[in-house]
Structure 1
Amino acid sequence: MSRRPRLAALATSISAALLVVAGQPALADRATPLPAAFSRAAAAQDVPRDLLVALAYAETHLDGHAGKPSASGGYGVMHLVSNPSNHTLEKAAELTGLPVEKLRADDASNVLGGAAVLRSYADELGLDENARKDAGRWYRAVAKYAAAASPELARLYADAVYEGLGLGVSARGVTVKPQEVTADRGEYAATRDLSAQAEILSSDYPDAAWVAASSSNYTASSRPSSYAIDRVVIHVTQGSYAGTISWFQNPSAQVSAHYVVKSSSGAITQMVREKDIAWHAGNWTYNTRSIGIEHEGYVSDASWFTDAMYRSSAALTKAICDKYGIPKDRSHIIGHNEVPGATHTDPGSYWNWTTYMNYVTGGGTPSWSTTVDNTTAGQFTASSNWGTSSYSSQRYGADYRFANPVAASDPAWYQATIPSAGTYKVEVWYPADAGYNSSAPYIVAASGGNQTVYVDQRSGGGSWRSLGTFSLNAGTFNVVGVSRWTSGTGYVIADAVRISR
């Protein structure tokens, strides 16, 4: 029996299960339609439910955007794509027997379609019934779902999904509890890790990774000799970080930006050299005179615009303005919607220009500060997997903690009492050594959800290093963690944390 008829039958039975007589929705589903959709799709396709949610969260934060396409032609909660190089929307229609129109606009159908596509990739990889029960074994199927332009981007995408499993998800009534999952990366284990600090290659901005856009998507130039640079244009990707990077590498995209900023951590990837002209503004004159910065997310969903993103992007914008003598004001740092003749609305009404411009221009002396060391009684916790060392003279205090990296979180936590809800600067202190980790994950328990910032602990030690500025709730809780879940090599170090405002 072919797989398609079985899947089509499942789609029919699931659609029927969503209805009662006279075509009315079942009461339970009217209350929580999306949680029910994930549970049913996962059961129908034998896909781990939490993995399915984590994938959708990485793509869209579980927002179907009323059936409107992303910048790369992706639809719905599961971001089923229809563009010249990726046809997961059509594949989902073939596998489920559901019409494309329904897969675009109906959340339950879209989730089922995404689950069917993911399951088909698992089948291609030979995952049997027992293997399918282990979320870690699905890593290569998740990477394939990305339809990425390179193995490096496929890994970046899959790592973001598994990070969601490790940190947990809570959105639109759907919850995934944080869990330790050992990701079986297979051939991707040897692939370049774009999230690792060791891979920073940008010659224009040292804190950015370099991944080149397709040469079909920008114009080579010699700015500022050929054209003066006097603007920074702020964009929102209408898609995910990994998906946007992959799209800019696609020759058919006919679009690009100089930089892309990640929502959760503020990580930055440069894709077009500043001397060259990115195709981002929809106005040739503004393309020639500006630097374009894309920000992961959707204009209709404020949850993407994190403090880590604002802070990281603002530091980039400040550096660009300083380099080219651009005034740091709203006449020269503009939104895509403010470009003459623009048909786009980004960054949209949820973008906080006041916060952003304060970060670009601001500073100041902290009015409150607290420091937590790994020896601070009652405020530092770590499992027995973390050793203690006083080897490095760059340590903060008497000693520090260390652990081998593994594909499991096992974080060391720093607890603090935050006096009131608000925005706080988080800094870390660690001793640096060539044998320490190239991409140590620091977790910040921000009010909008955990955010992860990766730090290269082989350099920059013996002083305070900023992770960024984050919104924190009031109260006593584990504010900062150091995770062991990293593809970076060398010991992960946990020493001291400082929080201030």
Structure 2
Amino acid sequence: MRARLRRSAALLTGVLIPAALLMGSPAAATSLDGPVSGAFAKAAATYEVPRDLLVSLAYAETHLDGHDGRPSASGGYGLMHLVASRTLERAATLTDLPVAELKSDDAANITGGAAVLRAYADEAGLDAAARKDPAEWYVPIARYGGATSPDVARLYADTVYDLLAEGVRGTTAGGESVTVKPRTVEPDRGAYAKAKDLDGPGTLAASTDYPQATWVPANSANYAVSSRPSSDAIDRIVIHVTQGSYAGTISWFQNPAAKVSSHYVVRSSDGAVTQMVREKDRAFHAGDYNRRSVGIEHEGFVDDATWFTDAMYRSSAALTRNIADRYGIPKDRTHIVGHNQVPGTDHTDPGGYWNWTTFMQYVTGGGGTTNPHTPESVCGSGYKVIDSAALGSAGTVHLLYNAANGNNCVATIKKTSIGTASATSAYLEVQGKTRITDSGNFAYYAGPVRAAAAGECVKWGGKVGSSVYDSPFEHCD
């Protein structure tokens, strides 16, 4: 089925795409007026890289903030996150621009990123015709992220294509608006089609300490095997900000050169959680507190509040509460601390934009009685709600659609007995096919239930306790 998106579905990453842009009105032309938009257009034309893909990649990496030439945690510079000893030096060779200029000048940095992408496209065998098709750029995009595993490379590229499908409106440090109109592209993943989809069904590992987390192990050089809490008591939870993107941080912790890691990484857009170090082991994240703490990294940069979404706060709070309950850690600011509070540290994260009041309310339950999970976080990146039905006061069942792959998803989100296992279900039935159901005693939600339904009618529904909703066959277009 094609999505019949409500106007509110234009929300992405905490940013609203104006209706004028969605309808392709002349107002959209303003996105080309400023110096950064002009630099994207010029670089795209010079190196024959699709302009909207170039912007989507930059937004995924940095939210279009060059951070005044300061590097990310993994050594990346500028809007395009040119990484030292990898893409930065290659960009200098390809463009004849000085490294210092590539680090600090937005236009130069965008040019360098486009040049590197074009080089990767040439090495992937993309001819002139293929370079015009955004679907053919998946392999160069995946390579640009520098992941050391195919699974994380796919996560990186999927993030860029999800943004392309959803649309982007970013604001630069200078106040310029840069936009990408929503555009559905079915990418050719090439060899990455065989890689694990870390946002897909079946990726939540039973071996994780937190049931809602995806398991992606850090490199063994970046943590110390231990036997906590028998070897060392765990009495602190340390809150970090990655100074980089979600996929980029996961990739960095898999790089043996990093010599750093954290137990968990939380995504900005939907609160997705990846565990990279078992809690019994000592992640290298907080100096003197490594032995006694569990570390949680949050996607973003300390000087950019746009990364700190409500979905991130709620998801991280649920994770923090779970850890605290299992180890008997008091839920207060003495035991749940920022990296900047660790004795002897020179770090400033999570920084002044991190809202400790909101976060701690969600951790302790005050003002946080709503479910920490959303239908989008349950179904995964790229899914948007297109229909919902109340299950009395007990919950809501949601029908979602992913424009990038044509799949539907159903998730039932509880509103009562949150955190306590109770009878909850969700189902999706494509006309002419067998109904798929997720049913059991769940603490927060049922689902995700996903199915391909392009051009087909669907029946969907769910249940919490005795409250039930069953749709007719609908959404047929």
Shorter chain as denominator, the TM-score bin is: 0.7 to 0.9
Q: Which amino acid aligns with 2:40?
A: F
The Cα offsets for residues 254-301 of structure 1, whole Å up to 9 and x where unpaired, read as: 101000011111111111110011110132xx1100000000100010
Quick one: percent identity of the two aligned structures?
A: 59
Indicate the SS of the match to 2:237. Answer: strand
Distance 1:434 1:222, change over 3 A: farther
C-alpha deviation, 1:190, in angstroms: 1.5
> 1:170, 1:29 → 2: CA distance?
9
> 2:141, 2:270 → 1: CA distance?
21
> 1:225, 1:35 → 2: CA distance?
55
Q: Which amino acid aligns with 1:100?
A: V
Q: Which residue of 2 aligns with 1:107?
A: 106
Q: Which residue of 1 aligns with 2:304?
A: 301
C-alpha deviation, 1:365, in angstroms: 9.6
Is residue 175 from structure 1 mapped to residue 182 from structure 2 by the alignment?
no
2:210 to 201, 205, 226: 205
Conserved in 1, the CA contact under 8 Å of 2:208 and 2:214?
no
Distance 1:50 1:411, change over 3 A: farther
> 1:80, 1:402 → 2: CA distance?
35
The Cα offsets for residues 363-396 of structure 1, whole Å up to 9 and x where unpaired, read as: 56989xxxx9xxxxxxx968xxxxxxxxxxxx99
Is residue 259 from structure 1 mapped to residue 264 from structure 2 by the alignment?
yes
C-alpha deviation, 1:197, in angstroms: 3.8
> 2:79, 2:147 → 1: CA distance?
18
Q: Which residue of 2 aligns with 1:343?
A: 346
| Aligned residue runs from structure 1 range 480-495, under 5 A | 495=461
> 1:492, 1:234 → 2: CA distance?
42
Distance 1:231 1:366, change over 3 A: closer
Q: Which amino acid aligns with 1:322?
A: D
Conserved in 2, the CA contact under 8 Å of 1:166 and 1:409?
no
Q: Which residue of 2 aligns with 1:149?
A: 148
> 2:386, 2:195 → 1: CA distance?
33
> 1:402, 1:258 → 2: CA distance?
31
Indicate the SS of the match to 1:265. Answer: coil
| Aligned residue runs from structure 1 range 23-172, under 5 A | 32-83=34-85, 87-172=86-171
> 1:197, 1:313 → 2: CA distance?
21
Is residue 215 from structure 1 mapped to residue 217 from structure 2 by the alignment?
no
Q: Which residue of 2 aligns with 1:356?
A: 359
Is residue 323 from structure 1 mapped to residue 326 from structure 2 by the alignment?
yes
Conserved in 2, the CA contact under 8 Å of 1:321 and 1:328?
yes
Indicate the SS of the match to 2:297. Answer: strand
C-alpha deviation, 1:407, in angstroms: 3.9
- Unaligned 5+ segments in structure 2 are 1-29, 172-176, 376-384, 388-394, 412-423, 465-477
Conserved in 2, the CA contact under 8 Å of 1:241 and 1:261?
yes
Conserved in 1, the CA contact under 8 Å of 2:76 and 2:82?
yes
TM-score of the aligned structures, taking structure 2 as reference length: 0.74
Q: Which residue of 2 aligns with 1:196?
A: 200
> 1:260, 1:396 → 2: CA distance?
28
Distance 1:178 1:409, change over 3 A: farther
Indicate the SS of the match to 1:42. Answer: helix
C-alpha deviation, 1:462, in angstroms: 9.5
Q: Which residue of 2 aligns with 1:459?
A: 438
Q: Which amino acid aligns with 1:182?
A: E
The Cα offsets for residues 418-472 of structure 1, whole Å up to 9 and x where unpaired, read as: xxxxxxxxxxx86347999xxxxxxxxxxxxxxxxxxxx86357989559xxxxx
Conserved in 2, the CA contact under 8 Å of 1:435 and 1:458?
no
Q: Which amino acid aligns with 2:438?
A: S
Indicate the SS of the match to 1:354. Answer: helix
- Unaligned 5+ segments in structure 1 are 1-27, 373-379, 383-394, 415-428, 437-456, 468-481
> 2:51, 2:116 → 1: CA distance?
14
Indicate the SS of the match to 1:288. Answer: coil
> 1:66, 1:484 → 2: CA distance?
45
Distance 1:128 1:30, change over 3 A: closer
> 2:458, 2:298 → 1: CA distance?
29
> 1:334, 1:271 → 2: CA distance?
20
The Cα offsets for residues 291-342 of structure 1, whole Å up to 9 and x where unpaired, read as: 0000010001011111111111100000000000000000100000000111
Distance 1:320 1:493, change over 3 A: farther
> 2:102, 2:463 → 1: CA distance?
46
> 2:182, 2:452 → 1: CA distance?
13
> 2:73, 2:203 → 1: CA distance?
27
Distance 1:243 1:402, change over 3 A: closer
C-alpha deviation, 1:410, in angstroms: 8.0
Size of the alignment, in residue pairs? 388
> 2:162, 2:460 → 1: CA distance?
20
Conserved in 1, the CA contact under 8 Å of 2:361 and 2:367?
no
> 1:216, 1:41 → 2: CA distance?
38
> 2:399, 2:115 → 1: CA distance?
44
Distance 1:43 1:30, change over 3 A: closer
TM-score of the aligned structures, taking structure 1 as reference length: 0.71
Distance 1:224 1:434, change over 3 A: farther
